[in-house]
Structure 1
Amino acid sequence: MMKINLTTVDLPTIHRNPESVVLTDETMAARKERFLEQLQIHSIDTAIIYADREHGANFEYFTGFIPRFEEACLVIHATGESHLLLGNENVKMAVHSRIKANPVHVPFFSLPNQPMTGEKTLDHYFKESNISPDAKIGVIGWKLFTSSQYNNRDLFDLPFYVIDSLLNYVSNRDQLQNFTFSLISPKVGLRTTYNANEIAHYEYGASLAGIAIFNGLQEISVGKGEKEIGALLAQDGQPNSVTTISAAGQRFTNAILYPRDKNITLKDNYSLTVGYKGGLSSRAGFVISSEDQLPENQKDYLERVGKPYFNAYSTWLETLSIGISGDEFYAKIQEAFPSEFYGWTLNPGHYTADEEWMSSPFYEGSEAVIQSGQLLQIDMIPSVPGYTGASCEEPIAIADEALRNELSQQYPEVWERIEARKNYIKEVIGIKLSNDILPLSDTVAFYTPFFLNKTLAYTKEG
């Protein structure tokens, strides 16, 4: 095991007020072209991509928007012809869509008790969208099913009334198949790799998460409230990709998920999490300033949980490389941070983008291979009975020399932030980052487990 210390360090540079990077027309056109190639490869005549507020990323990948409080479907034919099935309050969005598509008004997708003007049965809307009853249809919801008990091809996560209508519409049930893998599969998913424009686009949200977590950490003090700290996690009016956490002591009292009217007390354990499109930042630690203030039953916390966690964190960053398989990477983390001893049960990291967790290449037996242009979350969640957890979850990108050159030339301000982060991680924290690893947040690897000591951070020696 590498040596992990707690060291007084300089604070990382926080790059405030980053500007959004808009996805270009060229990027959006390339997304559709790549998808049409997938339709051809898999002999799919028509794809139907579902969306609602919580499950809109696959739809947004092509359209540039989600249907907010309504439901929607994007129909893409193998010919390139496209249709948008939209509710009352989203029909107007069709003209703004980044993919050229004919609007089809579907009142069923609207809010309860709104007018059902022009109502027809769903099969009429399918016909209006030029879906043939004899077509081979790829259905895309949001979830990549990986069951060993069912045929994943036959599992659908769209609302029943939509799937039921489709099953009654087509000539044979076998014409429908789950096609979500084409977008988010760790092996072949189109949405698992990005160009320079897309990385710069997502770096904005990842930057916001880092700024927010830093703001919250700097203001944690005894007597302040969860809501006061939680309010600091809001950034630029942008939507969150996960439920924001600002929690002192025991969580989930009265089943409450959100910041409460609860003040921080000395020796509380504390959790902070915030995510935006492009990445999430999270911390777990204690409201204390030094090791001797650790709770009596956790005096060995640093040796039992904290330092082993950061050892695994450093291993994560130093091991990830283009070409490594998900299985090999998983084995390296398992070796550094054995799950049977540290209690983690989920994947040690995953893809991220518009949604916080898209899918993961990191699991035992994974044949997925890490590629240039991928966005990943460092995400390991130890659970050791009797001990507070540890978390320094953060987003990174991985890019080969050609992609790095494109990013630096096309988006110099983004690149300047990335370079500053890399230098901090290498020179201050001591983690040996390869050239391929691009930190997307200012707080990657900056972990101060004692929240009253703002500069006492884990560092790696050797």
Structure 2
Amino acid sequence: MAKWKITGIDQVSYEKISLPQITAAGEQPEIPACVYGNRIRKLTELLAQRGLDGAVIYADREHHQNFEYFFGIDIWFEEAVGIVWKDGTCAALLGNECLPLTIHAKVPLRGILCPVLSLPGQPMQGHTLDEGFQSAGVQKGQKLGCAGWKQLDSEQSFDLPGFILDSLYRGVGEAGRLVNITKFLAGPGIGIRNYMEAEQAAVFACAAEMVSNGMLAAWEKLGEGVTELEVGSCFNPRGLPLSCHSNVSSGHRTRTGLVSPSGKKMEKGDPLTLCWAMRGGLSCRAGYLVEGPEDLPEESRDYYEKVVKPYFAAAVTWYENIGIGVTGGEIYALVQQIFPKEQYGWSLNPGHGLAAEEWLNSPVFPGSQIPFCSGQMIQLDIIPEPGHGYATSNIEDGILLADEQLRTELREKYPEIWGRIQYRRQYMAEELGIHLKEEVLPLYNTQGILNPYLLKKGYAMKKVSFNLEPKS
């Protein structure tokens, strides 16, 4: 029996479908304090293994995720530096407006006011940064691990702001006493944050549901003369934070990808991109605002045959083969076999980790021996740039990998979330022909749905029942 299930372009078709019967996403569960306590314990075990006295965790508006993961509080618009000592005690250097947030921390956290971390022009009464580190317990001769957000090659390279790094150097006495530990928090394969507890997975599953419900509403809103902003209004996070800017772009505005909605009115024949994300969930789709190929310019009328069919075949192959123990290199090779980058112009990794940020890391690259494991959220993220006048295509959503133990926890602790996951699994198999491994949990109500002709509502790509033999 072949190890891989390969879907070919003759196995996919464009047909009328029934959209999933969605239910409103429930209230996001609260992650209990004991989960954060276990995270601190894992970090102290890492410190012991690496011979470190403490971990220094930097945060700002865009790069708050490591800080929030351990302490359970967000930083909003300031900067912050958290410190976890090898005995598990914690302190945080905070600006004027974030200092009061320590009362909401999920672990005991001593706040130290360092106004230099505040917004420009605010009062500077409080500790200098050197004084703040000293108050937190930083001393000469200590060896500290520093975590920013970039996973750099050298342990002596850092992405912390220079003024913070200089202060730490003064505190420990010499440069060699600081090492970069970011990869141990967020790196592919080894990072603590790759692997989610049931409680965290449930929170992110709710975010994925809200994101996908917004995407379904946006599809329904699409039409000639509708503005990008009107479609963007469907992306409603219910007051919860986003993990990236929303994107609704049509016509010439799709050429650069990352643009926010505008007042531009959509026109029939426009290429179209839709994308939005909350912490724990991102969904993206792309196609044409048409009812069929007859609405496209003559040179693009074979878009379905030349781009969409091979793209969807690659996406189905991705869905049906990813699983626990499969390596990132194997997924890369499967995508490359069916949808070669040299022909279709994709350049980023065809799959990546997702957490509170929309891109945590990626174990999917040529030759990667990093296996997928239980607790990981992985995005299907194959973004072609086919050229020759064709628009791109996109079917980006994410899945959760869960072994039997994690599945049992989710089923017992969050039965409503579990029930919706099982409904999606059945929907993908029966309506779209996509069959997932039991450890692959679909989190999005849009999962597997690709409609290249976005005005032909109620239609999407489907897979037929047989698989091809892989190339040797």
For Structure 1 versus Structure 2, the TM-score category normalised by the shorter chain is: over 0.9
Kindly provide the amino acid, as one letter, of the partner of residue 400 in structure 2: A
Q: CA separation in 2, counterparts of 1:291 and 1:21?
A: 45
Q: CA separation in 2, counterparts of 1:248 and 1:347?
A: 25
Asked if 1 retains the 8 angstrom alpha-carbon contact of 2:248 and 2:259, the reply is no
> What CA deviation, in whole Å up to 9, does each residue of 1:6-54 have, x standing for no partner?
0100011222142111111221111111111111111111110011111
Asked if 1 retains the 8 angstrom alpha-carbon contact of 2:81 and 2:93, the reply is yes
Q: What SS does structure 2 have at the residue aligned with 1:154?
A: coil
> What CA deviation, in whole Å up to 9, does each residue of 1:242-285 have, x standing for no partner?
11011111117999922111101111111100101111001101
- What's 1:348 paired with? 350
Stretch moving more, 445-454 or 52-61 = 445-454
- What's 1:440 paired with? 443
- What's 1:402 paired with? 405
- What's 1:322 paired with? 324
Q: What SS does structure 2 have at the residue aligned with 1:264?
A: coil
Residues 277, 375 of structure 1: alpha-carbon distance in 2 compared, 3 angstrom cutoff: same
> What CA deviation, in whole Å up to 9, does each residue of 1:371-401 have, x standing for no partner?
0111111101001112100101001101112
Counting only pairs closer than 5 Å after superposition, residues 125-144 of structure 1 correspond to structure 2 as: 125-144=132-151
Stretch moving more, 243-252 or 214-223 = 243-252
Equivalent residue pairs, number: 456
Hey, which bits of structure 1, 4+ residues long, moved more than 3 A? Answer: 252-256
- What's 2:422 paired with? 419
Matching of residue 96 in structure 1 with residue 80 in structure 2: no
Matching of residue 296 in structure 1 with residue 304 in structure 2: no
Q: CA separation in 2, counterparts of 1:46 and 1:256?
A: 38
Asked if 1 retains the 8 angstrom alpha-carbon contact of 2:25 and 2:206, the reply is no
- What's 2:315 paired with? 313
Q: 5+ residue gaps in structure 1?
A: 147-151
Q: CA separation in 2, counterparts of 1:25 and 1:435?
A: 30
Counting only pairs closer than 5 Å after superposition, residues 255-274 of structure 1 correspond to structure 2 as: 257-274=259-276
Q: CA separation in 2, counterparts of 1:136 and 1:287?
A: 58
Q: CA separation in 2, counterparts of 1:62 and 1:314?
A: 36
Kindly provide the amino acid, as one letter, of the partner of residue 227 in structure 1: L
Q: CA separation in 2, counterparts of 1:241 and 1:213?
A: 16
Kindly provide the amino acid, as one letter, of the partner of residue 38 in structure 2: A
**CA RMSD after TM alignment:** 1.5
- What's 2:79 paired with? 71
Residues 447, 106 of structure 1: alpha-carbon distance in 2 compared, 3 angstrom cutoff: same
Q: What SS does structure 1 have at the residue aligned with 2:441?
A: strand
Q: CA separation in 1, counterparts of 2:426 and 2:221?
A: 26
1:242 counterpart (230, 234, 244): 244
- What's 1:12 paired with? 20
Q: CA separation in 1, counterparts of 2:441 and 2:297?
A: 37
Q: CA shift at 1:344, angstroms? A: 0.7
- What's 1:43 paired with? 51
Kindly provide the amino acid, as one letter, of the partner of residue 43 in structure 2: F
- What's 2:95 paired with? 87
- What's 2:173 paired with? 171
Q: TM-score, normalised by structure 2?
A: 0.94
Residues 241, 249 of structure 1: alpha-carbon distance in 2 compared, 3 angstrom cutoff: same
Stretch moving more, 17-26 or 279-288 = 17-26
Q: CA shift at 1:402, angstroms? A: 1.9
Q: CA separation in 2, counterparts of 1:440 and 1:143?
A: 27
- What's 2:392 paired with? 389
- What's 1:187 paired with? 189
Q: What SS does structure 2 have at the residue aligned with 1:47?
A: strand
Kindly provide the amino acid, as one letter, of the partner of residue 261 in structure 2: P
Q: CA separation in 2, counterparts of 1:304 and 1:288?
A: 17
> What CA deviation, in whole Å up to 9, does each residue of 1:330-351 have, x standing for no partner?
1122112111111111100111
Asked if 2 retains the 8 angstrom alpha-carbon contact of 1:187 and 1:367, the reply is no
Residues 319, 296 of structure 1: alpha-carbon distance in 2 compared, 3 angstrom cutoff: same
Q: CA separation in 1, counterparts of 2:193 and 2:119?
A: 30
Residues 74, 328 of structure 1: alpha-carbon distance in 2 compared, 3 angstrom cutoff: same
